[in-house]
Amino acid sequence: MSDPSSFPTLHTANFLLRQIAQDDLADIFRGLSDPRVTAYYGVSYATQEAAQMQMQWYRAIEQQHSGIWWAICRPDAPAALLGTCGFYDCDRENRNVDMGYWLLPEHWGTGVMRESLPAILSHAFSQMRLHRVECEVEPANLASGRLLRGLGFVHEGRRRQVAFKNGSFVDMEYYALLEHELR
């Protein structure tokens, strides 16, 4: 990854959001090979070697300044990854970015994302100087829809059959948060 000293490490009351490191590969693979995690996520990997592509993607978006992705950990166990969250497809001219996230199933329903996402949203608006954060969610992913609405995101509508996944077209719900709407 890029120089760790320049990476924006974030802290919440209960979590540390740090740069993803090569040592995280096993946990990244564990998450992105779990059908429960990838049911509503855009990528999955069959082998740890294949998951190296995800590690390369994290590095590439950081180096190209088109995104940034954090490992979510507990401060007392910074090597144990709980999940990840971040931004991609940054449009600097229009000052907007797409947001994504995933969490290992044993941490679902424990408030990890509810606490972590406001930290990266604050970073997007204050440090990255963005105006809008967007998020795409499959309609069946009710938990993500609730999470986003709870964070102040506005549901802007559904795009019909906009994504091709597992051999068929799927609809996507679109949510967005503007800078002045951050709670």
In tens, the pLDDT along 6-57 reads: 899 999 999 999 999 999 999 999 999 999 999 999 899 999 999 999 999 9
Q: List Cβ<8 Å contacts ≥24 apart for 152-158.
A: 152/177, 152/181, 152/182, 152/183, 153/177, 154/181
pLDDT at 1 over 80: no
Of residues 1 and 64, the one with the higher pLDDT is: 64
DSSP for 123-162, written as a single string = HHHHTS--SEEEEEE-TT-HHHHHHHHHTTPEEEEEEEEE
CATH fold for domain 4-130: Aminopeptidase (3.40.630)
pLDDT at position 3: 52
pLDDT at position 4: 54
| Boundaries of every domain in the chain | 4-130
pLDDT tier for residue 171 given thresholds of 50, 70 and 90? very high
pLDDT at 145 over 90: yes
Residues 16, 74: contact at Cβ < 8 Å? yes
Secondary structure class of 88 (helix, strand, coil): strand
What does the pLDDT average to over 51-76?
A: 97
Secondary structure class of 31 (helix, strand, coil): helix
In tens, the pLDDT along 155-170 reads: 999 999 999 988 999 9
Residues 132, 179: contact at Cβ < 8 Å? yes
* Run of H or E including 52: helix 48-63
Mean pLDDT, rounded, of the chain: 95
